Amino acid sequence: MKAQVLPSVDIVSVFNQQKAYQYTQRITTARERIDQLRKLQKGLGTIQYELIEAMSKDLERPVFETVVFEHLGLIKIIDETCENLEKWMEPEIKPSSIKSDANIEIRYESRGVVLIIGPWNFPFLLVLEPLVAAIAAGNTVIAKPSEMTPNVSKVVKNLISSVFEPKFVAVIEGGIPETTELLALPFDHIFFTGSPTIGKIVMAAAAKNLTSVTLELGGKNPFIVDAEANLEKAAQTLIHKTTINAGQLCLSPDYGLIHHSQVTQFVALARKAIKKMYYSEGKYAEQDSSKIINQKNYNRLKSLFGDAVEKGATIVAGGIFDDQKLRIEPTLLTKVAPNSKILEEEIFGPIFPILTYDTIWEAIEYVNSKPKPLALYLFSDIEENTENVIKMTSSGGVCINEAFVHALDYRLPFGGVNNSGVGSYHGKFGFMELSHAKSIFYDQSKEADTMMAPPFEGKLEQLTNAQ
């Protein structure tokens, strides 16, 4: 399909185009949808360097992280979807449970017109990945990239407009006014990735039109280390996963619960890991880390850090802020006061408070005192501790002796619960999330069923005796 460039985007006009075209897209075959996805994949192959440059301008992100997380990962997602889509689309047909001469069918149909609102922290992947699922499910899509990453937003727009007609997939750039206008429209589904605060606004707007939503949010993800954990692995994992994209990741470990007997050694190993990953000859290696997205977020992080230190927290690593470059060196805090703001707000930066506990039940109780997180990470070789933490806490997902990587396995559903999200996606789960499971009942009997119809005298006894 040749792109149609809209000189001045009329949001309502684009929406109405897609509303009309949705029924054409709904009846596409698996082969046709795969062809659409392969066109997108081909387009991805032409913009890698453009994406790297845009990411560098918006986030100063290391090339490695851009290519691995935003580009190569997306190509694999498309491959996985294309290889399995025909099977996912197959209707389920089985005998009825209430009539012996009837069959039932579950058919997956598109939701209709889908709005995807992307975040700034992974501004390419988290627009395009939901788009893959939406196309696979047969929807038309309007995508709204984040205005906080304007260079990446332009890459997204150019890519989509070069591959698809706007009546099928369109990109609307802009800020709050454009997002507000979009949210006022009666979309069939809204897919939002961002903070719980904005998620509530999106959900409230969707409710006015009874629009279904997928909300991929965040929260304070605990990182628990028990008394017999592999401390070196735990420390290295923590530092790496807390500093991806300078900690600006909804899956970042947000606070540590380290068994009191392990905390001294754990801190020493974490400091060693920081030095190995981010320092060369005593100098901070800026090229291997992103900057904080903007001044507002930088100031917020500096304020959280300052509040914790003022209330007695000890800086055991980092604590170095570059006000000109908006960079924060990986920072560890211990002895953090319970009333510190850093223990209440999602941090979203490379600052990590470390708490201690005596028993695993104390750690579980602390986790459960907070809103349900997007992810929980436990380092333990004790099966009883592992089972107790999994069973007695609630989170979007769990990693045992790892962190973050469950979100990379597309055979697992990914999503939050309550405060950390609504709905889940990835692989087949994304196809199902953006589909409607339509129930169909086929009755093959020749006569109408009169058992449930009046007159009712004696029929209740017949039903009771039949059971």
| Three-class SS state of 41 | helix
Clarify whether 232 is annotated catalytic: no
Which amino acid would we find at residue 451? M
In three-state secondary structure terms, 81 is: helix
What per-residue string of b and e applies to 117-156 under the rule 16 or more CB within 10 Å gives b?
bbbbbbbbbbbbbbbbbbbbbbbbbbbbbbebbbbbbebb
Closest CA to 144 of 164, 130, 162: 130
Q: Which two tokens stand for residue 81?
A: 């979807």
Closest CA to 374 of 255, 251, 199, 256: 251
Q: Residue 274: helix, strand or coil by DSSP?
A: helix
Q: How many whole angstroms separate alpha carbon 246 and alpha carbon 277?
A: 13
Q: Which of 60, 70, 129, 216 is catalytic?
A: 216
- The encoded tokens of residue 243 equal 């500093």
Measured CA to CA, the distance from residue 205 to residue 209 in angstroms comes to 8
93 beta partners: 105
Query: How far apart (Å, rounded) are the C-alpha atoms in residues 63 and 256?
Result: 29
Please provide residue 121's backbone torsions phi and psi, each rounded to the nearest 5 degrees: -80, -35
Asked about 216 being catalytic, the answer comes back as yes
Listed residue (195, 208, 229) closest to 416, CA to CA? 195
Q: What is the DSSP letter of 406?
A: G
> Following DSSP, what letter does each residue of 163-216 receive, concatenated?
HS-TTTEEE---SHHHHHHHHTS--SEEEEES-HHHHHHHHHHHHHTT-EEEEE
Catalytic residue among 250, 329, 346, 433: 250
User: What amino acid positions are annotated as catalytic residues?
Assistant: 216, 250
